[in-house]
Every structure is written in structure tokens, then in C-alpha cells.
Amino acid sequence: MSIQGVVLLTSRREKMQKFDVLIVGAGMVGLTLALALRKNSQLKIAMVDTSAVPELDDTIDVRVSAINVASKNIFANLGVWSALENSRIQDYQHMHVWDKAGLGKLDFSAKDSATFPSEDNLGWIIENKVIRHALWQQAELDEGIHFFNGNKLASISQGDSEVFATFASEPSPDDRHGDSSPTAPIIAKLVVGADGANSWVRQQMNMAMIFKDYDHHAIVATVKCPQGHKNTAWQVFLPTGPLAFLPLNSGKQGTPLQGTADSANNLCSIVYSTAPEDAKRLTALDSIDFAKELTAASDGKLGDITLESERFTYPLTMRLAQDFVKDRVVLIGDAAHTIHPLAGQGVNLGLLDAAALAQTLTSTLDEHDENYPELVNASDLKAFSRWRKSEATEMITAMAGIKQAFAPQQSPVKLLRGVGMNVLNHFAPAKNRLIAQALGIKSDLPELAYQKDAL
């Protein structure tokens, strides 16, 4: 930043809106961070997002997340889980994984977990818009969180002790807590980029990124399975890539159907990862032929499938920021890393980022000093970056290994793969470790990721 720029910004300080933390991106991860920061401090938070949080309706979102136990604990500790339980949420107690090209299969059940025997579920499938809405409702109750929805930032500039952000346009009617004009520049001690895979913050700050094309496109849609999903997450590894059927709650908003076994319990969200040319072929099929392909691919285990929504497709790319921190700017969630969706861990990884950053920032604050002069500690932020980058790298490596293991192979390799899966299916210690990973139970979790009575 030039000296003239600093002088100009300094001369306008009296017109600026002052916050402790500016969070760019009011999605699931950004909102979780805001609530986590406020839980243990009086920090003043600004949240900027180009889109408003929509009201919920009875239309089921094709974008869903598999929430594990660690993420459930985060939501519970932030006072959000009860709202999710009273919304559209589908628990699942079982996972069935099989190899289309061989004879291997794996079956997981929550009751088999020796690591976490008190938990009845392996996870929960929740629409992204349902999660975001519940978080937003909780954040709306907090006067220390100020929303600038429907607004776009024009620039971010770092000074010695603060960060300056300017807006690109006039305020939107969606602005909330707008007790001062959202076009007035913002000054904050820290900026957090929680603005997704194509992060504007990351680009603005020239934070280096490692990319790798997975050579897969994902197709997502909602389908009906006449056999019922049976509170099970299903995944078949095809020669072209994995196809997952994630159980959905098919009730209307506000009428949860957790654990029910009635005939309405037959919707699934699919995530079909396949080669780009195959994705193009599949999305070009009419709905009947596409559903027939799904039925054949799943060996008819869920019955004759029908398509219930539009199909959406997007390329899959591994991204990893070389550093999650640059001076007074931090990246979390998809802004810092994206991974293959075959294990459904991307959102959980981002939620842990949010909980870890909140813990890093608030653990040493003096609760009697509302000015928080020492909010940003360079060594603490470096430790946070190492912690979360290590977790992301471990997950990226694991996903790459699984993807490679199920790539098209010669017959002898396919046979060994199938034998290995079947042996693992009956080897309790290794299987229990996999269940623990699916639950998100690890040794180095942020405090918010533990059960309340463990805090």
C-alpha cells in the first residue's frame, strides 16, 4: 500500500465503520466463525456477502452436506443444533460401500463404533440452505454481528495495525443491522476470507494457491428411490468414479422426519463424480434415461430410480493455499482448500477451520478490555495456519489415495482390491478407525467440536 493511500485512508478514518473482525462471505463457514467468535468474546463483527440469506421454502436444495459428529457438536455449542433438528434434517446410521468392478464391499454402522458408543448416528444429511438459514437466524439475534448483505467489496488494503476495506456500490435493501451506511468504508483488525473456492479475498491479497484438476465433474440432483433410503448412505465405486446416494428428509419445512420408516422416506441426493465427457453425456440424457443409468449403476439396490430435480454439474478441483494467513488476512473453508467430495468431508473441514480460528483469536483476550488491542498475534496465526493446513493436506492426501485405489485397474488388481475390502469389512480395529474418521473424532480438535459436557 502506498504512503499516499495510507494518508488518504487515515484522513477518512472518522467516516469509517470500525470493527474488530471483517468476515467476507456469510455462508455456512463464515456464519459459524462469527457465532464462535461472539460466544467467547465481545468482538464486534462485520459480515459482507454479495447475496442475501433467502427465506426457506418447501423446495429441497440439491446442494447438501454430510455433517459429522464433530460439526454437530460445533452447532450444538453455538445454539444452532436444535433449530436444525426442527428443520429438514436426515440422520443416517449406516453406510454401504461397494465396488462395481469387483466383489468388495464395506458396511458401517453407528452401533459398531467403539470410539464413540454414545452416538446413535454416523452423520446427518442437511441441505446447505437449511444450515445457512439456521446459522443466520442465530446470528441475527446478536447485536455484535453486523450484516452487509447484497454488497460487494471493491478493495482491501493492509496498514501496520489495521485493514481497510471499501465497498463497490450503494447499499442493498437486504442490509441488516444497518445502523450506518454500508457504503462507508470498513476498518478492522483482521479480515477473514470465507468466500468460497473462487475467493475474492484470496485473489485480492495475491495469496498463492496450489491447484490440481481431479479430471472429474460432479453431477448433483435429487432422486426418488422406491425401496427407501433406509437411513443409509450408499456409495458405489464405478469404473468412471464414485456415485453416492445420500438420504434426504422429504418432509416439508418444519416437519422433520428423522428416523421414520414411512413411504415418504425415499428421497436421496446424488453426487455422481465422473469423467468430464461422461458427465456431459449423462446430463444430455432425458430424465428417464438418466434415471435408468442410475438404477443400473446402483445395481437396483434402491429400486427403479426417478429424477426429481434439475441436474447441476461442476468441475472438481483440488485447491490448497500455500499459506492460510497473510499479515492480517486469514483464509478458511473453501477459500483455503477444496477436496474431492467422495467422502463428504469438505464442509466439516471448513467448520473446523472456523472453530479453530475463533479459539486462536479469543483464547488470550482480556475479557475486561473491550478494545482488544492484541487481537492479532502473528505467532498464534502462524500456528493456526500450520494446524489447519496440516489437516487439509491430510484429507487431500487421503482422498487422492481412495480415488487412485478405485481407478480402472487390471483384473488381478481389481481382485486384490475386492479381497482387501472384504477383509477390512470383518476386521473390527481397522473398521472402527474408519468409523471414527467418518464421525470426525480426532485427537486435535477445537474445543467447540467436543460435546458440551466435555468442555
Q: How many domains does the chain have?
A: 1
Q: Measured between alpha carbons, how far is residue 124 from residues 72, 83, 84, 371 in Å?
A: 9, 14, 10, 40
User: What pLDDT score does 258 carry?
Assistant: 44
* 35 inside domain: yes
* 351 inside domain: yes
* 350 inside domain: yes
User: What pLDDT score does 100 carry?
Assistant: 84
Distance CA 220, CA 197 (A): 18
Question: DSSP letters of 12-27?
Answer: TGGGSEEEEEEEE--S
* 144 inside domain: yes
Q: What per-residue string of b and e applies to 255-288 under the rule 16 or more CB within 10 Å gives b?
A: ebbeeeeeeebbbbbbbbbbeeebbeebbeeeee
* 181 inside domain: yes
Distance CA 111, CA 94 (A): 9
* Close Cβ partners of 292 (under 8 Å, ≥ 6 residues apart): none
User: What pLDDT score does 2 carry?
Assistant: 47
Report the CATH number that the domain containing residue 396 is assigned in CATH: 3.50.50.60
Length of the chain: 455
Residue numbers of the domain that contains 353:
3-57+131-210+317-405
How does pLDDT run along the chain (455 residues), one tens digit per residue? 444 454 454 455 547 899 999 999 999 999 999 999 999 899 999 999 988 887 888 889 999 999 999 999 999 999 999 999 998 999 999 999 998 877 778 888 877 765 555 678 999 999 999 999 999 999 999 999 999 988 889 999 998 889 999 998 655 545 544 444 446 899 999 999 999 999 999 999 999 999 899 899 999 999 999 999 999 999 998 988 899 999 998 765 554 444 444 445 899 999 999 999 999 999 999 999 999 999 999 999 999 999 999 999 999 999 999 999 999 999 999 999 998 887 678 899 999 999 999 999 998 776 545 555 668 889 999 999 999 999 999 888 877 766 565 555 545 445 455 555 555 555 556 556 666 666 777 778 999 999 875 44
Q: Which three cell numbers stand for residue 159?
A: 496498514
Question: DSSP letters of 347-369?
Answer: HHHHHHHHHHHHHHHHTT--TT-
* 274 inside domain: no
* 327 inside domain: yes
* 269 inside domain: no
User: What pLDDT score does 13 carry?
Assistant: 53
